[in-house]
C-alpha cells in the first residue's frame, strides 16, 4: 500500500513524463504513433497532463482541503469549471481541448525565448548516431488561455513548477 505522499509524487512524475512526450513530439515534428497529426497527438498528451495535475490536487486535498482550494483558485484556466474556462474540466466533461495554433509566435517586444529544459531522451537517443549538427525548426504548439495563445509546453512546465512548490508546503 502506498502513502498519499508517494501517490502525489507518482502523479508529479506522470505529468513530467507527458510533458517530455509533448516536447519530443514538438521537437521531432513527427507523430509518435500512427495518427495523422502532431496537433491531435499534442492535444491527447495535453489532456493527460491536465488530468495528472488534477490528480495531484485531489490527492493533496485529503490532507489540506482549504490550501488545495486556494491553490486551485489561483489557476482557474486549469481547474475552474467549464463555464469559467477550466481546461481540465472542458477536456474531460465537454469537448476535447484542441491545439489552437501550430507554428511560431515570436515573443513580445524585447523578450527572448530560451529553452533551458533538458532535451527529451527520445530526441537524444535518436541523435546519438549522428556526427553533424542539425538545425531543425519545427512548429510549437499553442492553446488559447484567457483569450491569448500560450505555448503549451511553457504553460504546462510553469504550472508543474507551481504545483511542485505547493506540494512541498503540504507534505
**Global pTM?**
0.84
- Which cell numbers hold the place of 169? 508546503
Residue 130 located in a structural domain: no
Residue 132 located in a structural domain: no
Phi and psi at 141, nearest 5°, equal -100, 135
Residue 129 located in a structural domain: no
Residue 116 located in a structural domain: no
Q: Does residue 164 register a pLDDT over 80?
A: yes
Query: Residue 139, SS3?
Result: coil
Does residue 4 contact residue 59 with C-beta atoms inside 8 Å?
A: yes
Tens-digit pLDDT profile for residues 73-123: 999 999 999 999 999 999 999 988 988 877 776 667 766 565 556 666 665
Residue 117 located in a structural domain: no
Residue 131 located in a structural domain: no
First-to-last C-alpha distance (Å) of the chain: 18
Count CB neighbours of 60 within 10 A: 25
- Residue 11 pLDDT: 97
Residue 133 located in a structural domain: no
- Count structural domains, the chain: 1
Q: Does residue 128 register a pLDDT over 60?
A: no
Does residue 87 contact residue 145 with C-beta atoms inside 8 Å?
A: yes
Count CB neighbours of 169 within 10 A: 10
- Closest-CA residue to 68 (of 53, 52, 57): 57
- Residue 19 pLDDT: 97
Residue 98 located in a structural domain: yes
- Residue 76 pLDDT: 97
Per DSSP, what are the bridge partners of residue 144?
149
Domain hosting residue 46, numbered range = 4-107+138-170
Q: Could you tell me the CA-to-CA distances from 87 to 3, 18, 96 in Å, in that order?
A: 29, 16, 9
Identify which has the larger pLDDT, 100 or 51.
Answer: 51
Amino acid at each position: 500500500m502506498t502513502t498519499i505522499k508517494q501517490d502525489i509524487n507518482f502523479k508529479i512524475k506522470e505529468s513530467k513524463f507527458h510533458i517530455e512526450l509533448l516536447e519530443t513530439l514538438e521537437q521531432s515534428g513527427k507523430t509518435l504513433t500512427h495518427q495523422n497529426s502532431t496537433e491531435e497527438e499534442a492535444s491527447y498528451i495535453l489532456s493527460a497532463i491536465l488530468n495528472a495535475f488534477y490528480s495531484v490536487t485531489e490527492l493533496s486535498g485529503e490532507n489540506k482541503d482549504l490550501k488545495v482550494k486556494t491553490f486551485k483558485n489561483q489557476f482557474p484556466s486549469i481547474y475552474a469549471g467549464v463555464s469559467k474556462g477550466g481546461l481540465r474540466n472542458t477536456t474531460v466533461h465537454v469537448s476535447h481541448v484542441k491545439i489552437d495554433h501550430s507554428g511560431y509566435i515570436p515573443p513580445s517586444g524585447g523578450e527572448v525565448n530560451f529553452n533551458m529544459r533538458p532535451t527529451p531522451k527520445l530526441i537524444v537517443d535518436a541523435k546519438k548516431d549522428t556526427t553533424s549538427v542539425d538545425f531543425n525548426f519545427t512548429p510549437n504548439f499553442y492553446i488559447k488561455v484567457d483569450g491569448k495563445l500560450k505555448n503549451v509546453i511553457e504553460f504546462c512546465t510553469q504550472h508543474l513548477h507551481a504545483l511542485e512548490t505547493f506540494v512541498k508546503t503540504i507534505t
